[in-house]
Chains A and B, each alone.
Chain A
Amino acid sequence: EDQVTQSPEALRLQEGESSSLNCSYTVSGLRGLFWYRQDPGKGPEFLFTLYSAGEEKEKERLKATLTKKESFLHITAPKPEDSATYLCAVQAGRDFNKFYFGSGTKLNVKP
């Protein structure tokens, strides 16, 4: 069965303390891996898409990487405004409209 697992469930960091979030997947025929940010009371907001192992994408303090079995979201010198839940989703198989989401990592950055 296709599955997406994110770890840790929750992460507390001090401002400036870098860390990484993990998204591991067991799917057949990965088409794309997506990272989203979700703030409380809001819908997920797109961050990155990765398509092949070895690919990397960066945006401000965030950097996403992809291997054949997992993706990492690296957060460098985080700020309190980076606090949110980060979700990953995979698009796999022949159905391009079907996405499998993980349960997210809730990040809390303290000033």
Chain B
Amino acid sequence: DTAVSQTPKYLVTQMGNDKSIKCEQNLGHDTMYWYKQDSKKFLKIMFSYNNKELIINETVPNRFSPKSPDKAHLNLHINSLELGDSAVYFCASSPLAGLAKNIQYFGAGTRLSVL
């Protein structure tokens, strides 16, 4: 039973299209995240939600819009896709918001390729 699941695993699309990535966690965690992993393997935080409330919003183009319908789901919608958006996007969740012992549990990633 997958703890943090993302769909789709692979996404190939044309420049200018709009796409969404979905994430669900069944761990009962309050906090969820979106990360972008570039070709050099750096994981950079994009957004974080705590119980459906946005708590971290890094310097990300406003073409990226996260949505959390409930604390178990965090989706990422991307408008007007650009070549530079090609990367692996990871969803993660953690049990403890606002505390130091904040271990993150990651999904398997969504590999986005913009042509």
Of B41, B94, B104, the contact of A103 (CB 8 Å cutoff)? B41
Residues of B within 8 A of A99 (CB): 45, 104
How far is the CB of A14 from the nearest CB of chain B, in Å? 24
Is there contact, CB below 8 Å, between A45 and B48?
Answer: no
Whether A25 sits at the interface, judged by CB under 8 Å, is no
Interface string of A84-111 (1 = CB under 8 A from B): 0101010100011111011110000000
Q: Which residue of B lies closest to A97 (CB)?
A: B48
> In residues 24-63 of chain A, which contact B (Cβ within 8 Å)?
31-32, 34, 36, 41-46, 49, 51
Is there contact, CB below 8 Å, between A96 and B106?
Answer: no
Is there contact, CB below 8 Å, between A42 and B108?
Answer: yes
CA distance A34 to B43 in the complex (A): 13
Is there contact, CB below 8 Å, between B101 and A97?
Answer: no
Is there contact, CB below 8 Å, between B48 and A101?
Answer: no
A–B pairs, 17, beta carbons within 8 Å: A32-B100, A34-B104, A41-B108, A42-B108, A43-B90, A43-B107, A49-B101, A49-B103, A87-B41, A97-B50, A97-B94, A98-B56, A99-B104, A101-B42, A101-B43, A102-B42, A103-B41
